[in-house]
Structure 1
Amino acid sequence: MDKLKFTLAQNTKYILSHILGIFQIFTKKNSRKNGISVMIRVRDEEDWIARSLLSINDFADEVVIVNNNSTDRTLDEIERIKEKLNYQLIIENEASNDIIKVSNHALSLTSFRWIFRWDSDFIAHTSGKFNIINLRKLLLDLPQSKHYLIYPLTVSFAGDLFHVKVGKEIHSEGYIHTWHPKLRYIKKGKFEVLKTPFFYT
């Protein structure tokens, strides 16, 4: 029964989003260039950050990194591979322990139409059927007159690339969305959520 309710809720949200999407005809066309900004918040991610950045080398036009009080070699690891990166790299510091402030800082630094909130321990597929370059092509081909919010599915390896964690292996972390000046991260209960205008599809 719970599964049925969840499915109905998903379907209802999907239908409403398309109805509300009609209002997009009254909004201005996105003024940003049709490219992809990836925003990453980092704190002590020396083990993963280099692999993560290299895995999106052919996906992103720009990567915004907001360093949040790292005390390990995270920044050194970024510097080590910087010459291998094909995209524009922006790095700024944010000392606040408020994750909402950190996220909104990163969001404010982006400059392309598409924004992907990426975690520093994400590793993208770079070959085969699930090559992230396919996602890039899909996003850039979507109508530029509309606004989108997408929840990508990820697979958790729990720190082990050879053994997937038992439990909720497939879940959604991060957001892919188009830019709008009214976008902002807010706190909802215990969670951080992206607040979007009602006409996002």
Structure 2
Amino acid sequence: MAAKGDDRREKGHAGKGVRGGAAAIMEDPRFVAFVDHFNGDRDYFECHEVMEELWLDNGRDPVLQGLLQAAVGLYHWRNDNRAGAVKLFAGSLRKLAGAPAVLHGLDLALLRECVRSSLLALCPKLAEQPEMLAALEGRTAPPPGGPAPASASEIPALPEIAPAPFQPFALRVVDAALEAAAADRARKREAGGHRGGGRKHPH
């Protein structure tokens, strides 16, 4: 089993099963680490490592899963696993559908647009299937042929994937305290004060 990084050790077992709301999540060092890695060094693997544990500790919250899937989608895209990226971006859209425009100090409306744009870059023909795209975004019922998928693994077959070059995007932080905490962590990381755990392949 891979060793856990500083942020995961810092939280320990005290937070297991505790759901303290949006404010508590924003203050969690794992969430701060997620924002730092997503926007700072673009270490999407570490995004997966810290967010997966936070997601599990918070009752498998769908918004946290949507954030996790967006990061892993970028990880796969950068590593030329475009099929994996498409699957994760589609899942992220579904998990973020219906979420508030702003939550956990992040502009989720903008994030949805970024994920949607990435999905369309990889599946340009999806723009010709508005019913499927609307269903993925949770705006309408899915097209005839089955119930709405409940998870990324149940996303229906999407159009042909294009060889689109990697196009990263960033999270827009709208909470001043979260922005300051992520910036402080970035300074410590760059100085060598934060290191991730052992490497595994994210889901």
Same fold (TM over 0.5): no
More strand by share: 1
Q: TM-score, normalised by structure 2?
A: 0.25
Q: TM-score, normalised by structure 1?
A: 0.25
> Which structure's CA Rg is the greater one?
1
More helix by share: 2
